[in-house]
């Protein structure tokens, strides 16, 4: 698609991971088009995109000057509310740390894969 890049290409150009670029798209920090399961990002706007400020993040297609002049929008942003109970996450992570200390690095992908192959 002319004038658009894939998530992989955008990640390379921004020096970010694919996961981060997908998150920017989901959060509206990057504007893109989704066709089926695939995201496409406007190539020209990507060139001027600047990460960093969470408030007033530049939108794709918006000139850099306009982005920099735009007032902070912190008050308008929805406050992050975690899906998982923070206490549950804390307990899980503490126990996971104990397991890690005992077991060392576990190749989880291989562990699950072996299980699937054995069945």
Instruction: Provide, rounded to whole angstroms, the least separation between the CB of residue 58 and another protein.
Output: 22
- 103 forms part of the interface with another protein (CB under 8 A): yes
Show Cβ contacts of residue 38 under 8 Å, excluding neighbours closer than 6 positions: 6, 7
Order of all β-strands in the sheet with 4-6: 4-6, 38-42, 32-35
Q: Concatenated DSSP letters for 26-74?
A: HHTSS-EEEETTEEEEEHHHHHT---S-STTPPPTTS-HHHHHHSPP-G
Instruction: Provide, rounded to whole angstroms, the least separation between the CB of residue 6 and another protein.
Output: 11
- 97 forms part of the interface with another protein (CB under 8 A): yes
- 76 forms part of the interface with another protein (CB under 8 A): no
- Which range, of 40-48, 50-58, 65-73, 109-117, touches another protein by CB under 8 A? 109-117
Between residues 65 and 109, which has the closer beta carbon with respect to another protein?
109
Q: Strands 38-42 and 32-35: what pairing?
A: antiparallel
Per-residue H/E/C for 91-103? HHHHHHHHHHHHH
3-class DSSP assignment, residue 15: coil
- 38 forms part of the interface with another protein (CB under 8 A): yes
- Which range, of 42-50, 52-60, 68-76, 86-94, touches another protein by CB under 8 A? 86-94
Kindly list the residues in this chain that would bind another protein in the complex (CB under 8 A): 18-19, 22-23, 36-38, 80-85, 88-89, 91-93, 95-100, 102-106, 108-109, 111-117, 119
């Amino acid at each position: 698609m002319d004038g658009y890049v894939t998530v992989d290409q955008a990640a390379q150009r921004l020096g970010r991971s694919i996961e981060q670029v997908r998150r920017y798209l989901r959060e509206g920090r990057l504007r893109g088009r989704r066709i089926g399961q695939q995201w496409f990002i406007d190539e020209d706007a990507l060139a001027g995109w600047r990460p960093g400020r969470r408030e007033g993040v530049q939108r794709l297609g918006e000139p850099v000057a306009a982005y920099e002049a735009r007032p902070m929008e912190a008050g308008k942003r929805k406050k992050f509310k975690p899906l998982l109970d923070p206490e549950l996450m804390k307990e899980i992570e503490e126990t996971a740390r104990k397991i890690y200390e005992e077991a060392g690095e576990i190749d989880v992908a291989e562990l699950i894969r072996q299980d699937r192959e054995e069945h």
